[in-house]
Chains A and B, each alone.
Chain A
Amino acid sequence: MKPAPFLEPLDTFAPRHIGPRGDDVAAMLKQVGAASLDQLIDEAIPASIRLKAPLDLPPAESESTYLGRLKGIAKKNKVFRSFIGLGYSDTLVPSVIRRNLFENTGWYTPYTPYQAEIAQGRLESLLNFQTMVIDLTGMAVANASLLDEGTAAGEAMTLLHRVQGKKLGDANGTFLVSDRCFPQTIAVLRSRAEPLGIELKIGPVDQMPLDEPLVFGALVQYPDEAGRLDDLKPFIDKAHAAGVRVAVATDLLALALATSPGEMGADVVFGNSQRFGVPLGFGGPHAAFFATSQEYVRHMPGRVIGVSVDSHGHRAYRMALQTREQHIRREKATSNICTAQALLANMAAMYAVYHGPEGIRAIASRVHTFARSLEGALASLGYQQSNLQYFDTLRIKTDAAKVAAIRAAAEQRQINFRYVGDTEIGIALDETVTTADLSAILDVFAAAAGKKGTAVALDAKGAQPPSWPASLRRTSAYLTHPVFNTHRSESEMMRYIRSLERKDVGLDTSMIPLGSCTMKLNAATEMYPVSWEEFSRMHPFAPADQTEGYRQICEELEAALCAITGFAAVSLQPNSGAQGEFAGLAVMRAYHQSRGDAARDVILIPSSAHGTNPASAVMAGFKVIVTATDANGNVDVADLKKKAEEHAKVLAGLMVTYPSTHGVFEDSIREICAAIHQYGGQVYMDGANMNAQVGLTSPAAIGADVCHLNLHKTFAIPHGGGGPGMGPIGVAKHLAPFLPGHPLVDVRRAPASAGADMSIPPVSAAPWGSASILLISYAYIRMLGAAGVTDATRYAILNANYIKSRLEKHYDVLYTRENGRVAHEMIFDLRAFKAKGVEEGDVAKRLMDYGFHAPTVSFPVPGTLMIEPTESEPKAELDRFCDALIAIRQEIEDVITGKADPKDNVLKHAPHTAAAVSADAWPHAYSREKAAYPLPWVRASKFWPTVGRVDNPYGDRNLVCICPPIESYQ
């Protein structure tokens, strides 16, 4: 029986998630000129695409009810001791980092640091990450993280492909891959090589055909998948002599003891930094690292943090060399990567800051010593270990009967090893291992050998240095910069993390009105189960019967996302929106190929599309044809139809964002999709703007065949200061068989007996991508229910139209529906001010003085600001933001009328730092008060940018992407 209403839990989530309430809503509706919220929604969204029925989702749960139920699901995950390895090692997350960074809103709610002046904290930390990677790998430059090790391998391959353009001419070339790379790495490489026509030749390193004419690069792993450590220098020298460049997949902890790949001559070095204090999380999120030589820096994918100066001549950090990236270079970008793994890169960097070189070396030595001791003890039990040289991983060869016995006994004692075929066992140790673990392992092996457990006299022998040849023993220093040699006590570490955090604006400071980014609430109840051991300590390749909790969540989340998109199936594997685009396009390609339609290689993309669209299309093997936008910002339907018809025989499909990147629900969308279908194409819907659709319309309702969902936008995963993200894809029934598979875990929903395996190779290293943060989106949907997620959309649209209504008298709104309504975001046009000397960047920087992060600048239209408030912002915050922009409009007017000096004004010198405002000398024509406290409420909790306007050209002309020497700080 349903309890009486007054007995229901009171901690319902929707009123906490959604900002506007009660009288505010009435006032907002009055402001926008709508009689009701329903009326506003009817005016914003074309009737033809509205959903007729509520979403089929489970009822909303209160916060406490949800957590209680989730505890039950968590218990279905069995946390065994994991010695599986394969690129994922358990780690001791320092509590000071877990509490002050991983679980801290100041670190996980900011956006990618495009607005450098209010992001100096995480920019410094990401520079630490790059420095750590550069030191340990022995390379010259590193980026600020990639999505995972598998995609980093793909990026290494395409980098080498680009730099070998002269050798290849028009040929696609051949990439050699060691058969001793991780199986998931090789599988992801397959998904990346095939569309580009790159031939992969996989085989033993010593038999690689380096002299074949079209071989441009080779990939080897160090230590390899079995744990073996071989000197790479002879191979790299041979490859270079043959004109072949070499990428090396590696393990940062091993490099604390082993000679770095850079010192052996590698051209690219990459891997997973997870074991530097980032939880396993059933596959992620973790930060992959990527390093290369100075020569190739402009070919490097991903974000690069660089050092520059600010307007006062002081050091300031920023994202450098952005011209490599998709948002500028589009189909010619070095990669489609957008979201990276900033939060996790910062955790790994802080791990190195906290432990320092001696601490990292001690951890590595301890793990190695355990491995040496274990090898000795296993030998005394009669087991043969086959890795001649190793860091932390042993490979035992025995017979099938013993393997079966060991496996049974190990599972009894809650231990997972890696089982290779019927006769081999891999044992990968990590920093969490204890003498008790070693005893347990030996008991298991002893029992299978019919012997008694053998004691390991660790303390008697002491730490054992590696018995490797000199060429493998690292002699070069690393982590020598003072930042890695200062913060040893927890007090110091806590204060260092906090000192960086306070330099940055996150959602815990003020609203972040970034258009196209959906900076909504990341609720605490959604977040904190991510740290629960049952979720955080699961190895991605743990046996299925230990991961039932996760599997249940994945299955329920897939069902919910199917209901929301109207699609038949969902793959949770892609780790970002861009990765989702690649996956969705690869699925479309596989579908066409399965029908003998392989010639379909043209993708139409409207000119207003996000830069990832053309970049992903090229990666997926398509040719991009850009279609025009009409004067109202809509897809030019006539041009689109003309181009679809022109390319009818080779049309693979269309990529379209809906509502458009201009923030408008276009009436013609169904007509557009029908035209593509008419010529045999598929429609890919970019789900960046899904927050305007959920519950009101859907990708299926507009006629799309496939879409990605940015879980870090619409479904509440925090942006992490530049990642993590997740970009699952939903597909219509005819595309479902092609969703990505995985070589080590069966991720297919359809039973294996349903037919041949049509799945494309994996797009991510882990079966369900960054599985642990799926919990956040799961919580969001379960705590809001059908009515709640739909209300989120409705209030997002109300908030956007409210801002539009308040600001349209002050700024020109670029695009709306014919009735003047916008969707969940809108563009304000600042181009008219340029002739008067005020640019969009000035407005963006001036907002910092008011305590706000800028809206999206110059996307999708140069010279504009795009504002997206989301449903989570209450009226009071929206009003503060509008008041700030209205005040800035007056400041612009003062420049235009000559009341303010054209050069010496509050806009041009923004942002104003505390140091500048409190300096004895004040050289400006306006007052200090006007600079720092332009509106009365700014005083209440003033946010001080810590640097003045960052000099962008200086940073790109004088590229430094490593921590500068300490003297230069003085």
Chain B
Amino acid sequence: MAYPTDLQYTKEHEWIRVEGDTGAIGITDFAQQQLGDVVYVELPDVGSTMTAGQVFGTIESVKAVSELFAPVTGEVVATNGDLKDRPDQVNSKPHESWMVKVKLTNPGEAASLMDAAAYEALIAK
């Protein structure tokens, strides 16, 4: 799967799509492959804040649990309720299945993350 160029990536395998001062966050195709069949995503409450590099949720497959790390600092303005009933979408459409949307404290913050080429180089290692 090609890694979309309109996303920024972290070394913990999250992506963020920034539009204005809001960013949508999900996990990468590489991450979903490592996890296997996703069965549950635990997300923060709307209104809570997340801090870059800190855990903001967990994602579970049948045999593994992984923490979700915030790519940026900001306030959670929406969570993707669809994932409650259809967590498998994280497997089938990883780069469209956003988990949370955040209002970035510092809208420029995401620019320091990896672009698609850099991320692909990382996972090729």
* Residues of A bordering B, CB below 8 Å: 298, 322-323, 328-329, 332, 858, 952-953, 956-957
Contact = CB atoms under 8 A, between A and B. Distances in A.
Contact of B87 (A322, A329, A332, A957): A957
A323 B37 contact: no
B65 A956 contact: no
A956 B64 contact: no
Contacts, number: 35
B3 interface: no
B40 A322 contact: no
B2 to A, nearest CB: 22
Contacts of B42: 298
A957 B39 contact: yes
A952 B88 CA distance: 13
A159 to B, nearest CB: 16
Contacts of B111: none
B63 interface: yes
B60 interface: yes
B1 interface: no
A288 to B, nearest CB: 26
20 contacts: A298-B42, A322-B62, A322-B63, A323-B39, A323-B60, A323-B62, A323-B65, A328-B65, A329-B65, A858-B63, A952-B37, A952-B62, A952-B63, A953-B37, A953-B39, A953-B61, A953-B88, A956-B39, A957-B39, A957-B40
Given A323-B64, A329-B65, 17 more contacts: A298-B40, A322-B62, A323-B39, A323-B61, A323-B63, A323-B65, A328-B65, A858-B63, A952-B37, A952-B63, A953-B37, A953-B38, A953-B62, A953-B88, A956-B39, A956-B60, A957-B39
Contacts of B39: 323, 953, 956-957
A334 to B, nearest CB: 11
Contacts of A858: 63
A544 B5 CA distance: 76
Interface of B: 37-40, 42, 60-65, 87-88
A615 to B, nearest CB: 13
Nearest to A318: B62
Contacts of B65: 323, 328-329, 332
Given A328-B64, A328-B65, A956 B40 contact: yes
Contacts of B64: 323, 328
Contacts of B87: 957
Contacts of A952: 37, 62-63
Contacts of A332: 65
A112 to B, nearest CB: 16
A328 B63 contact: yes
A243 B56 CA distance: 24
Contacts of A957: 39-40, 87-88
Nearest to A952: B62
A308 to B, nearest CB: 10
A726 B64 CA distance: 28
Nearest to B91: A953
B50 to A, nearest CB: 15
A329 B60 CA distance: 10
A322 B60 CA distance: 10
A239 B39 CA distance: 34
A328 B61 CA distance: 11
A903 B48 CA distance: 46
A956 B85 CA distance: 11
Contacts of A322: 62-63
Contacts of A953: 37-39, 61-62, 88
Nearest to B48: A166
B32 to A, nearest CB: 12
B112 to A, nearest CB: 30
A332 B64 CA distance: 12
A957 B87 CA distance: 8
Nearest to B67: A332
A23 B60 CA distance: 52
The 9 closest A-B pairs by CB, nearest first: A953-B37, A956-B39, A952-B62, A323-B60, A323-B65, A957-B39, A329-B65, A953-B39, A953-B62
B59 to A, nearest CB: 10
A328 B42 CA distance: 17
A956 B65 CA distance: 13
Nearest to B37: A953
Contacts of A298: 40, 42
A858 B61 CA distance: 15
A47 B29 CA distance: 51
A868 B42 CA distance: 38
A957 B39 CA distance: 5
A298 B40 CA distance: 10
B58 to A, nearest CB: 9
Contacts of B38: 953
B43 to A, nearest CB: 13
A825 to B, nearest CB: 22
A867 B101 CA distance: 47
A957 B42 CA distance: 13
Contacts of B63: 322-323, 328, 858, 952
A738 to B, nearest CB: 34
A858 B62 CA distance: 14
A117 to B, nearest CB: 15
A717 B32 CA distance: 42
B96 to A, nearest CB: 19
A282 B121 CA distance: 64
Nearest to A330: B65
A953 B60 CA distance: 10
A858 B36 CA distance: 15
A323 B61 CA distance: 8
Contacts of B40: 298, 323, 956-957
Contacts of A323: 39-40, 60-65
A298 B88 CA distance: 18
B110 to A, nearest CB: 28
B36 to A, nearest CB: 8
A328 B39 CA distance: 15
A297 to B, nearest CB: 11
A513 B88 CA distance: 34
Contacts of B37: 952-953
Contacts of A956: 39-40, 60, 62
